[in-house]
């Protein structure tokens, strides 16, 4: 296959992570790939870093004839668009080439009239989680919808079980990631479990970091909560932790952090948002709680703190689930199958 991927956001995002991971997996499987992105975007920098064949677009709508000719000259066999605007561009330039629309972001599709109208022009969808898949069904009844969970690279070394492990959260310190909920849960648990550390790894703007540090002081958590900033070796960080938390208030169409915790054999306690319920199965490899509810999060943590053998069992289940369903190989296989099916339907 000769696959063209379209993405036009200027910033780093979960959609871009999904898209670039997919590009690399398709290239690894022997397919020709191109990535068209916005000029001077974060995506362009990543394409350069990863040696991906890319085309920076400045004003694509003024270059439609040239882009159509390039698709024909390059013998593109399928186009995959990752945003609504790149979907529109794909429709304008594709000719007879099949166009697939991949949804891997937090904004559920088909929320308004114009969005639903646009979806009806697409006959093939890829959904990154079941919530997206379900929202697409009424939006375009006749469409082909494939569910493909994003995979990620697991650790290249064995991550031993942390005998006296901390509780960790991994990811940038944006408000949507729910670090305040994590800190409040630590406050609820501090009296009974005074020796447990709550580790926060991730970058933050100075004002955001200051706000969270002040919250720790107000709750008199002292050294129980540590801010580690950006960690260069996430596996070393995870090896210090017995339980991984994803406390997001929203978003999480895909969750690289949850996948990383799972791949290292850790139970995951996550909020019930986005694609997290696809990854964390209640009572099997972790627990789910209502977003923003620190009492629920503390209760879930207590179950695993009080029963360390159960925590270890759930961690083993996490690793098993990752290795069978959520690794890069499976991601590549499922995506390739979807593309081949689409090409077969259009032949």
DSSP E strand boundaries for the chain: 2-6, 32-38, 54-57, 78-81, 99-103, 124-127, 144-147, 166-170, 198-201, 225-229, 241-246, 268-271, 286-289
Using DSSP's 3-state secondary structure scheme, residue 250 falls into coil
**pLDDT tens, residue by residue, 262-274:** 999 999 999 999 9
What letter would DSSP give residue 122? -
Judge if 28 and 172 occupy the same domain: no
160 in a structural domain? no
Please tell me whether residues 95 and 106 are part of one structural domain.
yes
> Both 332 and 321 in a single domain?
no
> What average pLDDT is seen over the chain?
92
* Model confidence at 295: pLDDT above 80: yes
3-state secondary structure of 202: coil
Task: Look at 310 and 144; give whichever has higher pLDDT.
Answer: 310
The answer to whether residues 226 and 263 belong to one domain is: yes
At 136 the pLDDT is 85
Model confidence at 336: pLDDT above 90: yes
The count of structural domains within the chain is 2
Q: Are residues 205 and 338 in the same domain?
A: no
Whether residue 313 is contained in a domain is answered as yes
Span 307-314, mean pLDDT? 96
Does a structural domain hold residue 201? Answer: yes
142 and 171 together in one domain: no
pLDDT given at position 154 = 92
pLDDT digits (tens, 9 = 90+) for 103-120: 987 665 655 554 555 666
Is the pTM higher than 0.85? The answer reads yes
Average pLDDT in the 179-195 region? Answer: 95
User: 122 and 9: one domain?
Assistant: yes
**Residue 29's domain is classified under what CATH number?**
3.40.50.2000
- What are 141-150's pLDDT values in tens digits? 567 899 999 9
Half-sphere exposure of 274 (CA within 13 A, CB side): 26
Domain that holds residue 43: 2-151+328-345
The 10s digit of each residue's pLDDT in 39-70 is 999 999 999 999 999 999 999 999 999 999 99
51-54-55 Cα angle (round to 5): 150
Does residue 159 belong to any structural domain of this protein? no
pLDDT band (50, 70, 90) for residue 326: very high
Q: Same structural domain for residues 199 and 127?
A: no
At 309 the pLDDT is 94
Tell me if 156 is assigned to some domain. Answer: no
Tell me: do 251 and 333 sit in the same domain. Answer: no
Does residue 48 fall inside a structural domain? yes
pLDDT digits (tens, 9 = 90+) for 205-214: 999 999 999 9
**Cβ(135)–Cβ(110) below 8 Å:** yes
- Is residue 115 located within the same domain as residue 90? yes
306 and 336, same domain (yes or no): no
Question: Based on the domain organization, do 17 and 48 belong to the same domain?
Answer: yes
């Amino acid at each position: 296959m000769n696959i063209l991927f379209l993405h036009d956001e200027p910033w780093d995002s979960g959609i871009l992570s999904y898209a670039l991971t997919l590009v690399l997996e398709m290239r690894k499987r022997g397919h020709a790939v191109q990535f068209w992105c916005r000029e001077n975007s974060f995506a362009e920098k990543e394409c350069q870093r990863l040696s991906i064949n890319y085309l920076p677009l400045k004003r694509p709508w003024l270059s439609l004839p040239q882009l159509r000719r390039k698709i024909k000259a390059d013998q593109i066999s399928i186009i995959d668009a990752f945003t609504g605007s790149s979907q529109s561009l794909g429709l304008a330039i594709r000719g007879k080439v099949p166009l697939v629309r991949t949804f891997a972001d937090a904004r559920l599709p088909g929320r308004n009239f114009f969005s639903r109208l646009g979806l009806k022009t697409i006959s093939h969808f890829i959904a990154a989680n079941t919530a997206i898949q379900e929202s697409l069904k009424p939006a375009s009844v006749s469409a082909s919808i494939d569910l493909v969970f994003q995979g990620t690279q697991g650790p290249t070394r064995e991550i031993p079980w942390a005998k006296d492990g901390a509780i960790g959260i991994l990811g940038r310190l944006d408000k949507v990631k729910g670090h305040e909920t994590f800190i409040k849960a630590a406050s609820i648990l501090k009296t009974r479990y005074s020796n447990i550390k709550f580790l926060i790894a991730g970058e933050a703007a100075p004002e955001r970091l200051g706000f969270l540090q002040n919250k720790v002081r107000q709750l008199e958590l002292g050294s129980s909560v540590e801010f580690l900033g950006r960690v260069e070796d996430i596996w070393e960080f995870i090896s210090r932790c017995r339980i991984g938390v994803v406390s997001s208030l929203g978003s999480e169409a895909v969750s690289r952090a949850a996948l990383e915790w799972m791949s290292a054999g850790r139970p995951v306690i996550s909020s019930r948002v986005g694609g997290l319920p696809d990854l964390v199965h209640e009572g099997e490899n972790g627990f789910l709680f209502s977003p923003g509810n620190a009492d629920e999060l503390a209760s879930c943590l207590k179950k695993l703190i009080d029963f360390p053998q159960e925590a270890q069992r759930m961690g083993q289940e996490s690793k098993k689930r990752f290795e069978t369903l959520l690794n890069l190989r499976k991601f590549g296989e499922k995506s390739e199958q979807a593309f081949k099916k689409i090409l077969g339907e259009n032949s």
